[in-house]
Amino acid sequence: MVSLFENYEQQYSVLTADITAQIGLLTASATKDRRQLISNIEKHVEEAQELLEQMELEAREVDQSKRQRCRTKLDCYRAELKRLTLDYIKSRSVKQGILYDSTEELNDIRISSDQKQRLLDNSERIERTGKKLEEGYRVVVETQEIGNEVLKNLGEQRETIQRSRTRLREADEELNRSGRLMNSMIMRSLQQKVVIYTVCVCFIIAVCLGVYIGIKRR
């Protein structure tokens, strides 16, 4: 299955091939054909720049194993587009040994320096955008790693708290059992004291009755 990045690559290849072909035609074209070729080339260059931006975003979504390869391809594509832009600017410049037949064509040549600067600025803007996206992605990855580490530490602390709770619960149960055992021992001790006191009282009563009966018989 073709990925979205590969689909963008195919579209980019078609665009750059078309740009290359039209630059060749621009170099050898007559005056009446140049305006249409110039318009087509600039339109295709802008579309190629937009494709590179889309490919840059899509490269963030691919697997880690493919990400570096995508970045390497993007660097090559940017360099290729910059080279094509320079080739276009050279072809757009005044051709040696050819006289231009109209004022419009001459005016087009005069403003070529402004268009050259604009195209170069666009190429530099793409490079800066790519670097900013890479820097932003690096910050996101570092933040994600820090977040994962924090979550890991929180998980370990939660396990420690749960173990402490379990130990406290077990200690509380042991204390309850010890309390019930102490209460049982106290009750038994009281019962034994009552029995002993009862036996003593009965013994004293029996002795008193014996003495009383002995005295009365005399």
Q: Domain 4-144 is classified in which CATH homologous superfamily?
A: t-snare proteins (1.20.58.400)
Residues contacting 123, CB < 8 A, separation 6+: 49, 78, 81, 82, 85
Cβ neighbours, 10 Å, residue 16? 19
C-alpha radius of gyration, the chain, whole number: 48
Cα-Cα end-to-end distance for the chain:
128
Q: Residue 133: its pLDDT value, please?
A: 64
Q: What is the pTM of this model?
A: 0.44
Q: Residue 130: its pLDDT value, please?
A: 62
Q: Residue 166: its pLDDT value, please?
A: 87
Residues contacting 8, CB < 8 A, separation 6+: 51, 54, 55, 58
Q: What is the pLDDT of residues 39-66, one digit of tens each?
A: 888 888 888 888 888 888 888 877 777 7
Number of H-type helices and E-type strands within the chain: 5, 0
Confidence of residue 29 (pLDDT cuts 50, 70, 90): low
- Give the C-alpha separation, 46 to 31, whole Å: 24
Q: Residue 122: its pLDDT value, please?
A: 62
CA 22, 87, 4, 129 dihedral sign is: negative
Q: CA angle 85-89-94, nearest 5°?
A: 165
